[in-house]
Amino acid sequence: MEITLNSGFKMPIVGLGVWRMEKEGIRDLIINAIKIGYRHLDCAADYRNEAEVGEALTEAFKTGLVKREDLFITTKLWNSDHGHVIEACKDSLKKLQLDYLDLFLVHFPVATKHTGVGTTDSALGDDGVLDIDTTISLETTWHDMEKLVSMGLVRSIGISNYDVFLTRDCLAYSKIKPAVNQIETHPYFQRDSLVKFCQKHGICVTAHTPLGGATANAEWFGTVSCLDDPVLKDVAEKYKKTVAQVVLRWGIQRNTVVIPKTSKPTRLEENFQVFDFELSKEDMEVIKSMDRKYRTNQPAKFWGIDLYA
């Protein structure tokens, strides 16, 4: 199942996110994911495991497990490389051992102090607050992203963690419209206005943290996951599915791409088994009523500033 982007390319609606994946386990995880049927991998320079992903991809290609053109590979520009977009993209391509990217995203709508291409540091000032570079505009960054398309390095470009205002601005100054806006969205943080705005203007929404962060965000940010909600457990029981499968299916039926992360083989398979059932309109409404406007991914913990304030 795929969504056709405004660039004309097709993006699989379920992908595997590799955030916080241990380097030593990535090879087996990606090979297993491809065998299960995953054809979409969501990476980022900031995850600091592009090289390991690249080794796994090269093995998959060389052994004939899959062809390059059958995969959709996303990675992202880190904040500290906004002034070095082309170099950063080439660095990611080298690490991933690829000739082109299917999708390259601006990871966050903020430029920070440059610390060296691909280092993905988040430099803090003496006050402990993120050292934001106020000399580089998002418009400048975007026009450099557009150059990547004309250079043949990237097929589609997009944004991530942009709100309605920033997305609207990007539409206004862009020559190549953003194909994707990747945002946190799940039953506790539905962001219906942003999702509808993007979709109205031909921008595909990808849901990062589609399961509400679960264990990973609970560990880092002390947040609560929707997977433990009794209402969702009741819905899951009705369909004889897991809560995670119901939540992913809800995301798919919103016409959003979902990129769940897991390092567990059983969950890897489970998260892909979401195409053999459909939630009723009534159950979609039940889940819609659960919105708490509850963000679980909050980098302010590390940056000393709430960029969403």
CA distances from 52 to 25, 97, 117 (A): 9, 10, 18
Q: Total domain count for the chain? A: 1
Q: Is residue 309 part of a domain?
A: no
Q: Is residue 306 part of a domain?
A: no
For the record, the structure tokens of 121 come out as 């540091």
- pLDDT for 219 equals 63
Summarised one tens digit per residue, pLDDT across range 31-41 is: 999 999 999 99
Instruction: Tell me: is residue 107 an annotated ligand-binding position.
Output: yes
Q: Is residue 218 part of a domain?
A: yes
Tell me: pLDDT of 214 over 60.
Answer: yes
Q: Distance between CA 201 and CA 128 in Å, rounded?
A: 38
Q: Is residue 305 part of a domain?
A: no
Name 141's Cβ contacts closer than 8 Å, sequence gap at least 6.
77, 82, 85, 106, 111
CATH code, 133 = 3.20.20.100
Tell me: pLDDT of 223 over 80.
Answer: no
* Cβ atoms of residues 261 and 16 within 8 Å: yes
Q: Which domain holds residue 16?
A: 2-300
- pLDDT for 86 equals 98
Tell me: pLDDT of 218 over 70.
Answer: no
Q: Is residue 139 part of a domain?
A: yes
Q: How confident is the model at residue 309 (pLDDT cuts 50, 70, 90)?
A: confident
Winning range, highest mean pLDDT, from 90-99, 215-224, 262-271: 90-99
Summarised one tens digit per residue, pLDDT across range 262-287 is: 888 899 999 999 999 999 999 999 99
With pLDDT > 90 as the criterion, what percentage of the chain qualifies?
A: 85
- pLDDT for 108 equals 97
Q: What pTM does this model have? A: 0.95
- pLDDT for 296 equals 85
Q: Which amino acid is at 95?
A: K
* Cβ atoms of residues 98 and 56 within 8 Å: no
Tell me: pLDDT of 4 over 70.
Answer: yes
Tell me the average pLDDT of the chain: 94
- The per-residue b/e assignment along 234-253, b for 16 or more CB within 10 angstroms, e otherwise, is ebbeebebbbbbbbbbbbbe
Q: Is residue 183 part of a domain?
A: yes
Tell me: pLDDT of 137 over 70.
Answer: yes
Catalytic (active-site) positions: 47
Q: Is residue 199 part of a domain?
A: yes
Q: Distance between CA 298 and CA 307 in Å, rounded?
A: 9
Summarised one tens digit per residue, pLDDT across range 13-24 is: 999 998 877 777
Q: Is residue 40 part of a domain?
A: yes
With pLDDT > 70 as the criterion, what percentage of the chain qualifies?
A: 97
